[in-house]
C-alpha cells in the first residue's frame, strides 16, 4: 500500500468502476491520498467459453513479426493460456502494447515491449512508424471479444495477416445499486471514474433512473476522449478527461478537480 500523501482528495468518495482485476492500483492510490474508494465494477472479465479460436491464432506466434496486446486483461489471460498450452514466448517477435499499464504487465512477466504509443490508444499505435509497412507480415492481436475493430481492420488494409487471439470476454455484472444510491443520497459520493465506453454504458444502466439523474450533477472523470464521448452521448455534461489513459492520469485529473473545487468554496 502506498504511504499517505497530502492531497485535495482527502475525504472524497470516488467511484471506481474498473473490473476488480484491474482496480487494485487505483484503489490503493486513492486510499493513499485519503480518499474513500467506492468500488462498483461495471464490467466482469470472464474467459472464453471455448479456446479453439485463440489456440488456432497463437499457432502463429513463433513465426509472427508482431504481437499486439490491447489491455492488461489481454496480457494476463493470453499469457496464462499460452502457458497452459506449453508455449514459450519467442525472443524474436516484436511486441506492442496500447498503453503503459499493459506494457508494465508484460514486462512483469519478462516479456520485452518494443512499442508503446505516446498517447495510449489504438489510433496512436497505428500512427507509429514501425507499423506503417506491415504488408505480408503476421500479427497476432491479443484482445477481448466485442472490442473495437480499428486495429485489425487497419492493419489488414495495410497488407498484414492479422490473427485475432481473443482471450477474454466482458460481461455486465449483476450488482445491487442500492448501497451506491444510498451513498449518493447521503452526499458521500463526490465523483465517478470510467475507463471505457462499455464500462460507462454499463454503469449508466446499472444505476437506474435515480442514479442517472444524480450523474447529471456528479463530476465524471473519463480515462480518454473516446470514453468521454460515450458520456456525452448519454446526454450528460462533458466529463473531465484524464491527461493520459492510465491510473496515474485518473488520479491527476481527480486531484486537479478536487483542488479547483476547494478553491471555489467561499
Instruction: Give the domains, in start order, of the chain with CATH numbers.
Output: 13-43+175-264 (3.40.50.10090), 46-171 (3.40.50.10090)
3-state DSSP: the chain helix, strand, coil percent, rounded to 5? 45, 20, 40
Closest CA to 61 of 78, 84, 76, 47: 78
SS (H, E, C) 212-262: HHHHCCCCEEECCHHHHHHHHHCCCCCCEECCCCCHHHHHHHHHHHHHHHH
Q: What is the pLDDT of residue 145?
A: 85
Tens digit of each residue's pLDDT (9 = 90 or more) over 232-257: 999 999 999 999 988 999 999 999 99
Taking a C-beta distance cutoff of 8 angstroms, is the pair 135, 159 a contact? yes
Quote the CA–CA distance of 10 and 178 in Å, as a whole number. Answer: 25
- Helix, strand or coil, per DSSP, at residue 57: helix
**pLDDT of 264 strictly over 80:** no
pLDDT at 266 over 60: no
Q: Which residue has the cell 489488414?
A: 156
43, 170 Cβ separation under 8 angstroms: yes
pLDDT at 1: 47
pLDDT at 156 over 60: yes
Which residue is associated with the grid cell 482527502? 10
Band the pLDDT of 265: cuts 50, 70, 90: very low
Mean pLDDT of 178-195: 97
Q: Determine the average pLDDT of the residues in 155-181.
A: 95
User: What pLDDT shows up at residue 22?
Assistant: 85
Q: Measured between alpha carbons, how far is 244 from 13 in angstroms, rounded to an integer? A: 22
User: Is the whole model's pTM more than 0.75, yes or no?
Assistant: yes
- Is the pLDDT at 221 greater than 80? The verdict is yes
| pLDDT tens, residue by residue, 71-130 | 999 999 999 999 999 999 999 999 999 988 899 999 999 999 999 998 878 889 999 999
Strands 191-194 vs 13-16: parallel, antiparallel or unpaired: parallel
Per-residue pLDDT tens for 9-64?
Answer: 999 999 999 998 789 999 999 999 999 999 999 999 999 999 999 999 999 999 99
For residues 61 and 93, the answer to whether their CB atoms sit within 8 Å is: yes
Question: Is the Cα torsion angle 169, 91, 88, 246 positive or negative in sign?
Answer: negative
Of 99 and 146, the structure prediction assigns the larger pLDDT to 99
Amino acid at each position: 500500500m502506498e504511504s499517505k500523501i497530502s492531497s485535495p482528495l482527502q475525504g472524497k468518495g470516488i467511484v471506481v468502476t474498473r473490473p476488480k482485476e484491474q482496480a487494485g492500483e487505483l484503489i490503493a492510490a486513492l486510499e493513499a491520498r485519503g480518499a474513500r474508494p467506492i468500488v462498483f465494477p461495471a464490467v466482469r472479465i470472464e474467459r472464453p467459453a471455448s479456446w479453439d479460436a485463440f489456440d488456432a491464432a497463437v499457432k502463429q506466434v513463433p513465426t509472427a513479426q508482431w504481437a499486439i496486446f490491447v489491455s492488461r486483461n489481454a496480457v494476463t489471460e493470453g499469457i496464462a493460456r499460452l502457458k497452459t498450452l506449453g508455449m514459450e514466448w519467442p525472443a524474436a517477435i516484436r511486441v506492442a502494447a496500447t498503453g503503459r499499464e499493459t506494457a508494465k504487465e508484460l514486462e512483469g512477466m519478462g516479456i520485452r515491449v518494443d512499442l508503446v504509443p505516446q498517447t495510449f490508444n489504438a489510433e496512436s499505435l497505428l500512427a507509429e512508424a514501425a507499423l506503417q509497412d506491415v504488408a505480408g507480415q503476421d500479427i497476432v492481436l491479443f484482445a477481448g471479444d466485442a472490442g473495437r475493430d480499428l486495429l485489425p481492420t487497419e492493419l489488414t488494409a495495410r497488407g498484414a495477416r492479422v490473427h485475432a487471439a481473443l482471450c477474454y470476454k466482458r460481461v455486465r455484472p449483476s450488482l445491487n445499486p442500492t448501497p451506491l444510491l444510498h451513498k449518493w443520497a447521503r452526499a458521500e459520493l463526490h465523483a465517478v471514474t470510467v475507463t471505457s465506453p462499455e464500462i460507462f454504458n454499463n454503469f449508466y444502466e446499472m444505476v437506474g433512473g435515480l442514479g442517472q439523474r444524480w450523474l447529471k450533477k456528479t463530476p465524471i472523470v473519463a480515462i480518454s476522449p473516446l470514453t468521454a464521448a460515450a458520456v456525452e452521448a448519454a446526454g450528460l455534461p462533458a466529463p473531465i478527461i484524464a491527461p493520459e489513459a492510465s491510473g496515474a492520469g485518473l488520479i491527476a485529473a481527480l486531484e486537479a478537480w478536487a483542488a479547483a473545487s476547494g478553491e471555489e468554496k467561499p
